Amino acid sequence: MCGIWALFGSDECLSVQCLSAMKIAHRGPDAFRFENVNGFTNCCFGFHRLAVVDQLYGMQPIRVKKFPYLWLCYNGEIYNFKQLQKQFGFDYQTLVDGEVILHLYNRGGIEQTASMLDGVFAFILLDTANRKVFLARDTYGVRPLFKVLTDDGFLGVCSEAKGLIDLKHSTSLCSKVEPFLPGHYEVLDLKPSGKVASVELVKFHSCKDEPLHITCDTVEALPSGFDLETVKSNIRILFENAVRKRLMAHRRIGCLLSGGLDSSLVAAVLLKLMKEVNINYPLQTFAIGMENSPDLLAARKVAAHIGSEHHEVILNTEEGIQAIEEVIFSLETYDITTIRASIGMYLVSKYIRKKTDSVVIFSGEGSDELTQGYIYFHKAPSPEEAAEESERLLKELYLFDVLRADRTTAAHGLELRVPFLDHRFTSYYLSLPAELRIPKNGIEKYLLRLSFEDSNLLPKEILWRPKEAFSDGIASVKKSWFSILQDYIDQQVDDLLLEKAAEKYPFNPPKTKESYYYRQIFEKHYSGRSGWLPHYWMPRWVKATDPSARTLKHYKSASQE
């Protein structure tokens, strides 16, 4: 995890513009570099480094003697860089996994490069010999990327939007800052003036497609067919493989553990594989919640079962409320459920950074979207519509859960690893018949649970624990986190303000005091940028006015069972 920033064709003094690069310093607390491009005095790269691999040669932009005309700034981890080296005979000059991008590009161009990378990434690649700039982002947008391109060819690129919004330009303030689409690459011509012109934007991978890099995966061809035993075995094999490849790190590994199915499976498989590869320090797991919240109690059980070094962060209401503004600033969104869930994750990340030496943090993001874990999937009209909804959610992850997971951890200089979003695992799961993937017997994620039932990785009551939204699970059963927030916000927002909300905020107008309060804070930091959120996250097929799982009829807390 790190922060990348680049400008091409700046009319303003670069020493002034580079102040914007400092707004993402939290993403890379270990080192910073600012470098001009030879022959293009108005083009530059900025890089904030979190050193996870190759402590000696990991600074960026990456340049190697073999390709002096290539400049690479990337944020991510390429898990198959050694397999690609073996397959194509690449001669690496550093231990940096991202160096493979230079070799792949030299061998087969940008299309092959983006398609062959097994990992999470956002990168800027400059080829001064052919006067090209390339931008690319991984399938689910696990690593963030934003860009601004003016009509006269000034390009700014950054890991977070906050590094672009204050850039100065002769024709205008740079207003059209937008997220770069996941699963795409863009080709731009670099003019002698340093300005650029977009040539094409190409979608190189879709979540349903089997990835091209399967040819150099450590797991070979799996048994075909959809009989239940074969499917369960393949799910276990691919999920273990997803966790195993993500062990690549020179810094200490930890794991977020809410006690729900997803984070518990990740933690259990992670600890098992760490032992297998002789990682000789204990796995630290981290839970956050109010005293005796469902998440804390469940996480305690899991930690005891798997034998992790468990840490609990007790959340008090005042601390959670005080964090709201800095959380919204970090997130760059005003989505209700994203903000609620981010407060706990932001505070647990803060604890990890201050109190431990864990830096590479595993988490369970992506499972709810992939395996139909949200409670509203029980109301899906048909398996086919449930499958379509699952794909829609995966495509929008970069706006919601993946955004939350990246920003809340990156704000404290941590690197997130999300095995449920492994390309091969997700494409296999989505290839299964729609009927197999729906909730069964009143239980969501039925197939995933069933696949691990005989593994003894988790206690049965955890493996079959009903869905609990993270923002709800951290509070007590009696009073959920969202209702605690609403009680506080009711005192902060006047009824009259809410009545006139649609006039003040015509796009995505707030419907509740809570959403109005969040929007006010968002507009304070990112005025006029409401288009970054195309719509609020809301459950489908139910008449919901609030995104919390606790408002849905299917929801059952432990006290009601």
Binding-site annotation, residues for ATP: 256, 288, 363-364
Burial class (CB in 10 A: 0-12, 13-18, 19+), 503: exposed
Instruction: Assess contact for 141 and 397: CB atoms under 8 A.
Output: yes
From the candidates 2, 44, 158, 174, which is the catalytic residue?
Answer: 2
Cα 556 from Cα 222, distance rounded (Å): 38
DSSP 224-251: -S--HHHHHHHHHHHHHHHHHHTT--SS
User: How distant, in Å, are the alpha carbons of 230, 231, 422, 426, 503 from that of 451?
Assistant: 10, 8, 17, 15, 51
d(CA 521, CA 526): 9
Residue 191 per-residue DSSP state: P
d(CA 481, CA 465): 19
Q: Which of 181, 183, 174 is nearest to 529 (CA)?
A: 174
List the one residue out of 393, 372, 381, 392 whose CA is nearest residue 542.
381
CA atoms within 13 A on the CB side of 26: 19
DSSP labels, 204-220: ---TTSPPGGGGG-SS-
DSSP 184: E
How many whole angstroms separate alpha carbon 428 and alpha carbon 243?
A: 16
Residues contacting 396, CB < 8 A, separation 6+: none
For the chain, how many residues are written? 561
Residues 6+ positions from 339 with CB-CB distance below 8 Å: 324, 327, 328, 331, 333, 518
Residue matched to tokens 């330009």: 169
CB count in 10 Å sphere of residue 65: 6
Residues 6+ apart with CB under 8 A from 390: 369, 370, 372, 430, 437
Per DSSP, the three-state class of 557 is: coil
Q: Which residues are annotated as a binding site for L-glutamine?
A: 97
Half-sphere exposure of 514 (CA within 13 A, CB side): 19
Write down the residue that tokens 């990992």 correspond to.
119
- The question of whether 2 is a catalytic residue gets the answer yes
Separation of alpha carbons 126 and 35, rounded Å = 13
- List the one residue out of 210, 192, 297, 299 whose CA is nearest residue 256: 299
Distance CA 144, CA 404 (A): 11
Nearest by Cα to 12 from 175, 192, 173:
173
| Residue ranges of the binding site | 97, 256, 288, 363-364
Q: Which are the catalytic amino acids?
A: 2
